[in-house]
Structure 1
């Protein structure tokens, strides 16, 4: 019997997908033979294996990648070609492959980031042509892709390459060329697309906010037996009260799925800073359905939740600061600020109420400026720590000032719980005074302390132009009287009697110092406090004849102010009002010059903060892409 020509082949230990074989053939080949046309056709007709390609590329060191530059250049060039072909499914698979390839390759720490990246992707001689083609093709797919899925994949590629440039801390060839003009927003004027982007930002912000409310639902409760008993100090008798004594910790949700979506705040800032049309639609857009949030309402709501928990983690602090950057740019635009301060711009906004003390609950639509005031008050109140985030506080003060100067210039009188604002600003001054030894070494503390004094002085000198009634103005003066000795200590501890000349609110760089120049803002506060103190109070035995004031605690409410005896015992609120009103007749305020002449946002002054926030956003964006 003749032997059969067929022989049994040994069964492999495991079956390897064909696309993985092609990956290894491309990147593990020992020779430099260019792949055939058939190789590339088969390569892009097979669905990518994301895990295997990531494993293969992530296992290469930067030097390994440079040694495989010929292969990487071929893959990059061919993937661009296939993405532009319009042939399904090759165009879709090419975009997926580019996302994986760029995420891994650009995430490595090269010795010479700019030149090495150029070498790996195209080579110095071909980089202009290759990148120009890449930009044009990708931009065309984003704008006019055949399907929504294809356009989304093109956006993922753009995120991968821009994220990679930031990840390696380089201002690379890509950013010099203003990579993807429509995606970088600077000359993007397609109004319909911008409206969709603004709506998309609103949806993501709403989702981020919902990540907090899913952990702790902070919708204000109605008047129930439980909260009635608690109100009268009978918590022990209140059914179910113990369960709510220690609410869940919402600020440490670093592992939550929603956090990676916060990367959109970097793009939101960039849109707002570069494209006025985007800012207009973000603020003005009205949802089609009555029960839907507007994009700006969602943005403000999310911002209030982030800022109330900003101190809990570095990541939340970075995103909080990005939100404040965006908000500051918006309120500095007179057209947008008009809408924010007007009845026409009223919106309903859900404000974070996850930590006490709570601001008064306001239901229904509100003028957006009052919402922003609430958010800034909560920011100041809930982040008081010895290791204070001075930048966040400086931004909050700057935003309040910009809104108040607009209201003052346009004689817009807002109904608002102004007493809460006065209490918060003066509590901050007490805190800064108490913990001056911990805070004085912070390089930005002078900006904050000067800005706070200037903001209060502006309210004192110009409050009659934006406050709705005399009572709100009287309350400010009365609280200043209570804070009198704190103001003088504040001045001395932070050397505000030797302030830099021309320091403006919100500026990050102090001007040259003039040794004998006094701070007119702090002088105004002290003169007002002293004037009304002499009318309202008499000595209680203290040698300095000044009202006493207790200091706030870093993690809670300020302790009550201990007032001295008053000239007339049991002085009623009406009598206090009458005395303060009479005091106006003899009060002489010299409004300090330049209090309303704040400097506009300049990105160059905040490069370090933006870099740190960008790294954080890139980390999250890469996780979304991957």
Structure 2
């Protein structure tokens, strides 16, 4: 046998940081220690808090332990929590910062366990019933003091992370109340004022605090949001939200670049299969469809929890809502409103992919709904004085027209709604997503009509999305009613859909910019005249009371479609081209008033709201009432809390 070469490389042992070994030593089960009570020495604690933390490693050490295991070693956990609180409030550096980082990982890992009795068991693990008040009060006081008074930016950031881990983890327990009663609001605002770049983190934490026990009890943070009037800090909050929106949107673009391709010689070579000859050859290949799908499933990032805080602030404070719309930006920077609408577009474009994506899509749409609920803000959003340029999602067909120039925000919102309606059609349709989208559209159309604001827009795409939705509901009625209660489909989707179509037919001349946009809707209605009857049968609309809005709307659509179909039928020509039908539609407007009068009389006889001819009929909408969306909002909050646990470990 030949002797081993002295140049042979030996495999080196892998070394791990000393702190990781201390993590393992501290939280071994009693049987692993070989005794019942493991009491670390003072030297152990001194070394533990001096060494640089490894949050993720600490989390990994605690991950295998079950809830019962933690209860079994409650002596170690209580001792650790008490020592950590003493260190983080000691003023000694770097021990105080290290204690914060380690405690954040501990809270995130331990509070994620499934305890049999969450409140009672967590109290036993943390401090015991006799000491829990002092322990949790000291922790809340210590963290609030650091956030509001410390001069170290990293230290304050770590305190916010630790507090967020505690609140997000204890949402289903009574421990979160210690942080609610302490009132972190003023400390967080002071932190943001001193450190603007910390606004996203602080705002996200505020969202967790403000939505604790929502719908169950009064929350002091909601009151603080309502009373807050410092416009300078609000501007920093809005900017922080905008920056986070930009990051979320950019992650979608990184997964699949949807920039419209412009013609170049390279694009031609690529099209004919000669990519190797183009400058793009040196760039990495774009992801395949399956790879892109996998990337999209991971999006948005957990930082999207900021949408909950923004929704809460917009709901509570009109000044904040106004700041979101009108905050000025340098010409080279994206405005907050543009960043928000752009990110909303990408979220709604992919809402069907996961429950997470849908929950953030709903939060974004709820925020838009709140903005347009204010007539003054709606007027500003529809004004030519406020034009913005927002990048909208184009990652799946059908695509809307690409408009790179600045335009009226309401037109951008229309595109978001149109895109949402077109790209999320599934047999298990999301009633909340379609319900809020249709409500937003109906609300804006009513406002435009009442102010007689004629909005330039590619209206045919809106009509097409509405007609496509009606066809989809009709074609898959059996599947839809099998998975969803008929009454929900009738109330939340069918009613606003028929109301929008009827209102646009009756009042479109108040807000449409030109006759072709108006006539196009009549043309599309004629195309689906047969579908209307099937739609009426599929959703048992004839069985509804005569005064029901869905029934009145459907019958109004049928009457209008019949009127124009009769005019088309009276033509002597066997085959008619679209242009000829458009001419007949134009002539039909002369007798359209008679149809409206007939429908109005029928509506009055059935107990309608003053006849269909008025804005009080199909243009009627209810102001935002959060209680109507209670079930969905509570689901969203639970999802946001889960992401909040992840964010604090980043």
Taking structure 2 as the reference length, the TM-score comes to 0.77
- 2:92 aligns to what? 87
Equivalent residue for 2:110, pick from 105, 108, 113: 105
Task: Give, in angstroms, the shift of residue 171 of structure 1.
Answer: 5.5
Task: Give, in angstroms, the shift of residue 414 of structure 1.
Answer: 1.0
C-alpha distance in structure 2 between counterparts of 1:493 and 1:13, whole Å = 67
Task: Give, in angstroms, the shift of residue 299 of structure 1.
Answer: 1.8
Equivalent residue for 2:122, pick from 114, 117, 120: 117
- 2:6 aligns to what? none
- 1:452 aligns to what? 497
Equivalent residue for 2:438, pick from 387, 390, 397: 397
Equivalent residue for 1:578, pick from 586, 591, 614: 586
- 1:320 aligns to what? 361
C-alpha distance in structure 2 between counterparts of 1:433 and 1:222, whole Å = 39
Q: How does 1:150-299 map to 2 (within 5 A)?
A: 150-166=155-171, 170=172, 172-174=174-176, 178=180, 181-182=184-185, 183=206, 184-185=209-210, 186=222, 187-188=224-225, 189=228, 191-222=231-262, 250-254=292-296, 259-287=301-329, 289-299=330-340
Aligned residues between the structures: 569
Asked if the contact 1:229/1:237 (under 8 Å) is kept, the reply is: yes
Q: Pairwise CA RMSD of aligned residues?
A: 3.8
C-alpha distance in structure 2 between counterparts of 1:145 and 1:74, whole Å = 26
- 2:203 aligns to what? none
- 1:54 aligns to what? 59
Say which structure is richer in helix: 2
- 2:190 aligns to what? none
Q: How does 1:523-602 map to 2 (within 5 A)?
A: 523-538=555-570, 565=574, 572=580, 575-576=583-584, 578-589=586-597, 590=600, 591-592=611-612, 593-602=616-625
Asked if the contact 2:351/2:424 (under 8 Å) is kept, the reply is: yes
Asked if the contact 2:400/2:415 (under 8 Å) is kept, the reply is: yes
Asked if the contact 2:305/2:644 (under 8 Å) is kept, the reply is: yes
Distance 1:484 1:330, change over 3 A: same
Task: Give, in angstroms, the shift of residue 614 of structure 1.
Answer: 4.1
Distance 1:603 1:577, change over 3 A: closer
C-alpha distance in structure 1 between counterparts of 2:139 and 2:273, whole Å = 69
- 2:196 aligns to what? none
Asked if the contact 1:72/1:121 (under 8 Å) is kept, the reply is: yes
C-alpha distance in structure 1 between counterparts of 2:458 and 2:578, whole Å = 26
Asked if the contact 1:301/1:350 (under 8 Å) is kept, the reply is: yes
Alpha-carbon displacement from aligned partner over 1:440-483 (angstroms, at most 9, x marks no partner): 13133222112211222222233233222333222222322222
Alpha-carbon displacement from aligned partner over 1:601-621 (angstroms, at most 9, x marks no partner): 444444443454445444444
Distance 1:406 1:120, change over 3 A: farther
Asked if the contact 1:450/1:496 (under 8 Å) is kept, the reply is: no
Moved more, 149-158 or 264-273: 264-273
SS of 1:387's partner is coil
Structure 1 regions of 5+ residues with no counterpart?
1-11, 505-517, 541-563
Distance 1:137 1:599, change over 3 A: farther
- 2:608 aligns to what? none
Task: Give, in angstroms, the shift of residue 378 of structure 1.
Answer: 1.0
Task: Give, in angstroms, the shift of residue 21 of structure 1.
Answer: 3.7
Distance 1:483 1:228, change over 3 A: farther
Alpha-carbon displacement from aligned partner over 1:42-96 (angstroms, at most 9, x marks no partner): 5433322435533443233212222333443343233233323333212211210
Distance 1:473 1:282, change over 3 A: same
Equivalent residue for 2:509, pick from 464, 478, 492: 464
Task: Give, in angstroms, the shift of residue 368 of structure 1.
Answer: 0.8
Alpha-carbon displacement from aligned partner over 1:219-267 (angstroms, at most 9, x marks no partner): 223456899999xxxx8799999x9998786443157686333343344
Equivalent residue for 1:497, pick from 509, 517, 542: 542
Asked if the contact 2:22/2:48 (under 8 Å) is kept, the reply is: no
- 1:359 aligns to what? 400
C-alpha distance in structure 1 between counterparts of 2:596 and 2:547, whole Å = 24
Task: Give, in angstroms, the shift of residue 173 of structure 1.
Answer: 3.9
Equivalent residue for 1:487, pick from 529, 532, 539: 532
Task: Give, in angstroms, the shift of residue 401 of structure 1.
Answer: 1.3
Task: Give, in angstroms, the shift of residue 436 of structure 1.
Answer: 0.7
Task: Give, in angstroms, the shift of residue 98 of structure 1.
Answer: 1.6
Task: Give, in angstroms, the shift of residue 277 of structure 1.
Answer: 4.3
SS of 1:253's partner is helix
C-alpha distance in structure 2 between counterparts of 1:61 and 1:237, whole Å = 56
C-alpha distance in structure 2 between counterparts of 1:585 and 1:254, whole Å = 50
1:17 aligns with 2:62: no
Moved more, 614-623 or 373-382: 614-623
C-alpha distance in structure 2 between counterparts of 1:46 and 1:328, whole Å = 50
Asked if the contact 2:522/2:585 (under 8 Å) is kept, the reply is: no
1:149 aligns with 2:159: no
C-alpha distance in structure 2 between counterparts of 1:452 and 1:488, whole Å = 15
Distance 1:245 1:478, change over 3 A: farther
Distance 1:570 1:207, change over 3 A: closer
Asked if the contact 2:252/2:299 (under 8 Å) is kept, the reply is: no
C-alpha distance in structure 1 between counterparts of 2:60 and 2:180, whole Å = 31
Distance 1:422 1:129, change over 3 A: same
Q: How does 1:23-42 map to 2 (within 5 A)?
A: 24-25=25-26, 30=35, 40-42=45-47
C-alpha distance in structure 1 between counterparts of 2:287 and 2:91, whole Å = 60
Distance 1:26 1:381, change over 3 A: closer
Alpha-carbon displacement from aligned partner over 1:509-545 (angstroms, at most 9, x marks no partner): xxxxxxxxx72222221221122222233499xxxxx
1:307 aligns with 2:348: yes
Distance 1:355 1:129, change over 3 A: same
SS of 1:345's partner is coil
SS of 2:295's partner is coil
Structure 2 regions of 5+ residues with no counterpart?
1-12, 186-205, 211-221, 601-610
Equivalent residue for 2:82, pick from 77, 84, 97: 77
Asked if the contact 1:251/1:309 (under 8 Å) is kept, the reply is: no
Taking structure 1 as the reference length, the TM-score comes to 0.80
